Amino acid sequence: MSSRKFLIGIAIAWLIAITLLHAALNLHWFDRAKKTASANSRFRIGFLPVTCHLTCPVTDFINKQMTGESIFDPVRFNGWPELKEAYLSGYTPATFILAPMAMALREQGVPIKIVYLGHRDGSAVMVHKDSNIWRMADLRGKKIAVPNRYSNQRLLIFRALKQAGMTIEDIELVEMPPPDMPAALYAKAVDAISSGEPFMGQTELDGYGRVLWLTKDVWPNFISCVLAVHEDMIANHRDVVQRLVDGIAKSGKWIDASMDHRMEAAQFVANNYYNQNPRLLSFVLSKPPDRVKYTNLALRKPDFEEIEALGREAGILKGTVHFADYTDDSFVKDDSAVQPYAWEPATKK
């Protein structure tokens, strides 16, 4: 059966060809062999393409510019579940993560330690500009989208409802991935959306969204995403973790040092790390300028205890773990003493 041999020959040829092509194009087996050798010794850090995690790519970029290499290898994920699972499997021993999610993981016995904050504020609730919703009370009976039940946006809404004298029963809460939220609002499939930036800003920029309120108006200095590492990393590679936290702290101060820095960050992060339009990032980093802040990121007990309380009320935390269990604030002794990165971008002209 020579046609049989011919077919088997083709099949094997295809297997080899596609494998080699893939290795050459995507796995870079052939060109950067030397670079990957040194990269193997670096740990990975997970993040999502949101402004809450901005300090991650900024640290990486500036470090590469100044020293020629990264401290950790940033890995971009597309959703919270994959980010969390990668952490659980040990693929990313450090990761940016939602604070309530980290606390819940700790409750379940996962050896996770929050070592620094990611940002403050930086969230919003948006409604369609044609809608009649102007205050919290107007949301009665309406549908609001939040990213994840462990998200601080959900707790935020809880808080805002309490402040307005309403309960969770008065609204309908749905979970939705943040990238889908702008389209849902545009199509009026939901009445309000709430998540981290830049998805909220996107609806403003595209002209169909209106801010109902920014987090800084409801819960000043609101914390949402945090930097967390595996306990084993702290035990065995403390120096690396220290360098990471130092880098994050420095880049936070750098971002907040001037609007120019922010715009610069918007450019290189959007193009190299987030694969988004830089215009979008520039918008949310500047309008208004304190939409999201990256200083004052040291861990403070009262912040977390508030989240614990709200989390218990919202039913996502059991209340069995406390500040000392899930945090390790030994990496930044004195936040005010942290100096921003001494790096200025080369002039463009």
Q: Does 14 bind other proteins (CB under 8 A)?
A: yes
In terms of DSSP bridges, do strands 120-121 and 172-175 run parallel, antiparallel, or are they unpaired?
A: unpaired
Q: 31 to 90, contacts with other proteins by CB under 8 A? A: 49, 75-79, 81-82, 85-86, 88-90
**Closest approach of other proteins to the CB of residue 81, in Å:** 7
In terms of DSSP bridges, do strands 143-146 and 172-175 run parallel, antiparallel, or are they unpaired?
A: parallel
Pick the closest to residue 253 from 198, 332, 348, 151 (CA basis).
332
**Site size for other proteins, by CB under 8 A?**
45
What's the chain look like in SS3? CHHHHHHHHHHHHHHHHHHHHHHHHCCCCCCCHHHHHHHCCCCEEEECCCHHHCHHHHHHHHHHHHHCCCCCEEEECCCHHHHHHHHHCCCCCEEEEEHHHHHHHHHCCCCEEEEEECCEECEEEEEECCCCCCCHHHHCCCEEEECCCCCHHHHHHHHHHHHCCCCHHHCEEEECCHHHHHHHHHCCCCCEEEEECCHHHHHHHCCCEEEEEEHHHHCCCCCCEEEEEEHHHHHHCHHHHHHHHHHHHHHHHHHHHCHHHHHHHHHHHHHHHHCCCHHHHHHHHHCCCCCEECCCCCCCHHHHHHHHHHHHHHCCCCCCCCHHHHECHHHCCCHHHCCCCCCCCCCCC
Nearer to other proteins, 177 or 345 (CB): 177
Q: 92 to 151, contacts with other proteins by CB under 8 A? A: 92
Q: Does 3 bind other proteins (CB under 8 A)?
A: yes
**Closest approach of other proteins to the CB of residue 25, in Å:** 5
Q: Does 164 bind other proteins (CB under 8 A)?
A: no
Listed ranges 2-10, 29-37, 300-308, 331-339: which one lies at the site for other proteins (CB under 8 A): 2-10
Listed ranges 111-119, 130-138, 178-186, 336-344: which one lies at the site for other proteins (CB under 8 A): 178-186
Nearer to other proteins, 48 or 299 (CB): 48
> Of 202, 251, 282, 295, which one interacts with other proteins (CB under 8 A)?
202
- Please count the CA atoms within 13 angstroms of the CA of 295 that sit on its side-chain side: 14
Query: What mask of x and - would describe binding to other proteins in positions 203 to 232, judged by CB under 8 A?
Result: ---x-x------------------------
Instruction: State the amino acid at position 188 in one-letter form.
Output: K
**Closest approach of other proteins to the CB of residue 235, in Å:** 22
**Closest approach of other proteins to the CB of residue 26, in Å:** 5
> Of 4, 5, 34, 333, which one interacts with other proteins (CB under 8 A)?
4
β-partners of residue 112 are 230
> Of 8, 9, 13, 22, which one interacts with other proteins (CB under 8 A)?
22
Nearer to other proteins, 92 or 295 (CB): 92
> Of 173, 179, 303, 343, which one interacts with other proteins (CB under 8 A)?
179
> Of 8, 9, 13, 19, which one interacts with other proteins (CB under 8 A)?
19
Q: CA 145: distance to chain centroid?
A: 18
> Of 2, 26, 41, 132, which one interacts with other proteins (CB under 8 A)?
26
Q: 261 to 290, contacts with other proteins by CB under 8 A? A: 274-277, 280
Q: Does 1 bind other proteins (CB under 8 A)?
A: yes
Q: Does 199 bind other proteins (CB under 8 A)?
A: yes
The distance between the two most distant Cα atoms of the chain, rounded to a whole number of Å, is 81
- Positions touching other proteins (CB under 8 A) are 1, 3-4, 7, 11, 14-15, 18-19, 21-22, 25-27, 49, 75-79, 81-82, 85-86, 88-92, 177, 179-180, 182-183, 186, 198-199, 202, 206, 208, 274-277, 280
